[in-house]
Structure 1
Amino acid sequence: MKLQLNIQPLESWINVKNQPLLISGPCSAETEDQLLSTAHLLAATGKVSVLRAGIWKPRTRPGEFEGIGSIGLEWLKRAKAETGLPTAVEVANAKHVQEALAAGVDILWIGARSTVNPFTVQEIADALQGVDIPVLVKNPVNPDLQLWVGALERINKAGITKLGAIHRGFSSFEKSAFRNEPMWELAIQLKTLCPELPIINDPSHICGNRELIPYISQKALDLDMQGLMIESHLDPSIAWTDAKQQVTPAALAEMVSKFTLRQAESKNEEFADKLADLRKDIDKIDDLVLQKLAERMSITQKIGEFKRDNKVTILQVNRWDEIMSKRTAFAKALKLDVNFTEKFLELVHGESIRRQTEIMNAGKVDAGIAAEAHADVK
């Protein structure tokens, strides 16, 4: 089911003459000189479309730098006047919205900590009633697509049609090279639900360190995301917040110049014909895979009945270990990614367990329902 949003094309509300679309600036506005100097250097690269800066910073723990506050809006106004760059800030409540609008900020974004709370999003949406301004909504901290969708819907229902999403990754208990796991599949699902919705990637918050930013940025562009939000600081080594994930304006310009830009579609007829043929092959194989999965589940059903009749448990760890060991070894020989194979097998195994559980407990479930009905009658 498609997501129904009333939105305008990105090109109608952001200058996209620079490719890729790049929103950049310091994580936090620290001093007027720091912000203005960084803004001028970013404008001089000719690659930045929008100047961003954190004015209010929602921090995990009290006592950390929580933003310079409203005075930073005046610095942003001056930076815009001197460089010509439109400005963007994060807002987390109605007061932020009112002050940002009064200061002439061009674009607002809602942060991950706000998106996770429908009450906060609704407060911001109410403050935006009757306002014509672009709003970008970051994904929630936790991997919940419905929360992300709900926040977009709330802002859209407030009358905001210049609407976009920011993919900044998701918190995870698992330790990895990333500050926030990309979980690309959630951004892809959102794009599938609403193909016209612009999605901008935030590699700074995904990576948490500047070394990985080029890799994540290129992958985002390859996945047809409409732009990037990359944090840049005059001197990241002395930044008051998130120093490790910020880059200098010069490093940013060099990085962007090395990106490979690809089109979503090609007008080359030979390419289109060849792609269509290859997709037909994929379709045939997909059909065969589904047929074989159906056959496998049919056998699983028989195994479940056999176990039930012989009072054998559903889960047999030794058998599961054997499957994982043999199948992953076979997959490796076939040049398939081991992680992909393991996830696939876990999904299939989970469905097998679910079906066998239904078979094992069918009578008990029916008896339970009957008992409840009898109790209600009494």
Structure 2
Amino acid sequence: MKIKNWYSDGKPWIIAGPCSVETEEQLLETVDGLVKDGITTIRAGVWKPRTRPNSFEGVGKIAFPWIKKAKSLHPHIQFAIEVASAEHVELALKNDIDILWVGARTTVNPFNVQEIAEAVRGVKDIPILVKNPINPDLALWIGALERFYAVGIEKLGAIHRGFSTYQESIYRNIPLWQIPIELKSRYPELLLINDPSHIAGKRDLLFEIAQKAMDLQYDGLIIESHRSPDEAWSDSAQQLTPDALKEMLSYIKIREKNFPNKDFKNELEGIRDQIDETDKELLEVLSRRLELVKKVGQYKKDKNVAIFQLERWNKIIENRPLWGEKLNLNADFVKSIYQDIHDESIRIQTDIYNNEE
């Protein structure tokens, strides 16, 4: 994909609005508050795909006259909604919706994505924003973007809303920042927007996530805002009032994308050279460790001993984080490193067992 940079406002694109359109009054009052605070792109959930049945799934097409009224009262605003089928696309375009996004539950299914892509084939100048799939699969995310690119959509963007996990977490969806960073590395001109609302799941984490996104040079934020969040029909815990949103945004620091001067850049390059040398040393140590793993694997094979030794693994995963803490390293970080090392060790020893020589 040869994606072009189509958003050149010079400042982060802020998209805000209610998780769900509930009533005409609720929408208009929320939009009034957001517009007063300088928001010009409104998100609004018309259809809400939910995990389980019998949950509120949006009011549907009856929301469009309310959206049109909001746009007539504020002619300079744009509306963005989620679409999950060709029928949704047809209704959205018929009702002059400005921006479409594809939700995480849809991105995960290439058949659904292709259906939506065919529905927008030939449609010019409408941005399509694709949320990451619910599972951490970069290829699936890229594949969804490629389907829209293939039908001629030039204004493409990606929304990072975090990933589902069975593990306990402070987040509703764990961020896994390395995945969107890899996406941006492959496609530097791709618009990348962060969705702190769906990552956080609760208001008190929104600022932390939004600030980190700005520190990582995301192009914008999509945040849920409601006139009275505690009364919202969906996702009440993660929404902010327009005034609370304005206050939060006022505290976010926007970082410089370029170095302030030549001296600063030279000093930073010197530190980076030291990092490069340290990385070489790390890889040399890791290589030596895995050579020892090969010896262990061969010994186990010769003695007909199972590859996985639970007692040994429990000892490693218990004491390595403690060793790390003594070196001022985060215990969870050390644990995750050793989980990856263990996975690679299992792979290496499995190859040894499968080699009949």
Same fold (TM over 0.5): yes
The offset of 1:350, in angstroms, is 2.2
String of CA shifts for 1:83-122, please: whole Å, max 9, x gaps: 2211111111111111111211111101111111111110
Q: In the alignment, does 2:339 pair up with 1:342?
A: no
What is the alpha-carbon root mean square deviation over aligned residues? 1.7
My pick for the range that moved more, 82-91 or 250-259, is 82-91
Instruction: List per-residue Cα deviations over 1:116-175 (Å, max 9, x = no partner).
Output: 111111011001011111010011112221111111110111111100000111111123
Q: Which residue of 2 aligns with 1:74?
A: 65
Q: Give the distance between the partners of 1:65 and 1:326, measured in 2 at CA.
A: 47
Question: Partner of 2:52 in structure 1?
Answer: 61
Which residue matches 2:109? 117
- Indicate if the aligned counterparts of 2:172 and 2:201 stay in contact, CA closer than 8 A: yes
Distance, in Å, in 2 between the alignment partners of 1:316 and 1:98 is: 57
TM-score (norm 2): 0.94
Q: Which moved more, 1:202-211 or 1:156-165?
A: 202-211
2:172 maps to a residue whose letter is: R
The one of 282, 287, 294 equivalent to 1:289 is 282
Match of 1:169 in 2: 162
SS in 2 for 1:324: helix
SS at structure 2 position matched to 1:87: strand
1:85 aligns with 2:77: yes
Displacement after TM superposition at 1:213 (Å)? 0.8
Q: Is residue 237 of structure 2 the alignment partner of residue 237 of structure 1?
A: no
Q: Which runs of 5+ in 2 are unaligned?
A: none
2:348 maps to 1:355: yes
For residues 12-51 of structure 1, the C-alpha deviation after alignment (integer angstroms, 9 at most, x for no partner) is xxxx36x4321001111111121111111101112x2301
Return closer, same or farther for 1:305/1:271 CA change in 2, 3 Å cut-off: same
TM-score by length of 1: 0.89
Which residue is 2:254 aligned to?
A: 261
1:147 aligns with 2:140: yes
Unmatched segments (≥5 aa) in structure 1:
367-378
Distance in 2 (CA, whole Å) between partners of 1:356 and 1:227 is: 45
Q: How does 1:105-254 map to 2 (within 5 A)?
A: 105-132=97-124, 133-254=126-247
Structure 1 residues 357, 61: CA separation in 2 closer, same or farther (over 3 Å shift)? closer
Per-residue CA distance 1:303-322 (angstroms, 9 max, x = gap): 32233333343333333334
Please state how far the C-alpha of 1:326 moved relative to its aligned partner: 3.9
Helix, strand or coil: the match of 2:81? strand
User: Does the C-alpha gap of structure 1 residues 65 and 296 become closer, same or farther in structure 2, counting only changes over 3 Å?
Assistant: closer
CA shift for structure 1 position 7: 3.2
Residue type of the partner of 1:90? E
Matched to 1:66, the amino acid is E
Q: Residue 319 in 1 paired to residue 312 in 2?
A: yes
- Relative distance call for 1:81 and 1:356 in structure 2 (3 A) is same
Write the distance in 1 (CA, Å) between the matches of 2:49 and 2:306.
50
Q: Of 7, 10, 34, which residue of structure 2 is paired with 1:10?
A: 7
Q: How far apart are residue 336 of structure 1 and its match?
A: 0.7
Does the residue aligned with 1:10 lie in a helix, a strand or coil?
A: coil
Q: In structure 1, how many angstroms separate the alpha carbons of the residues matched to 2:105 and 2:300?
A: 48
Q: Which residue of 2 aligns with 1:370?
A: none
- Distance in structure 1 (CA, Å) of the matches to 2:230 and 2:322: 46
Equivalent residues of 2:171, 2:201 under 8 A apart: yes
Query: For the residues of structure 2 that align with 1:206 and 1:326, how far apart are their CA atoms?
Result: 31
Q: Retained in 2: the 8 A contact 1:138–1:166?
A: yes
Using the alignment, how far apart are the partners of 1:340 and 1:161 within structure 2? 39
Sequence identity of aligned pairs in percent?
Answer: 49
- Larger-Rg structure: 1
1:40 is matched with 32
Shift of 1:185: 1.8
Aligned length: 355
Aligned AA (2:114): Q
The question of whether the paired residues in 2 share the 8 Å contact of 1:8 and 1:161 is answered with no
Q: Structure 1 residue aligned with 2:90, among 94, 98, 107?
A: 98
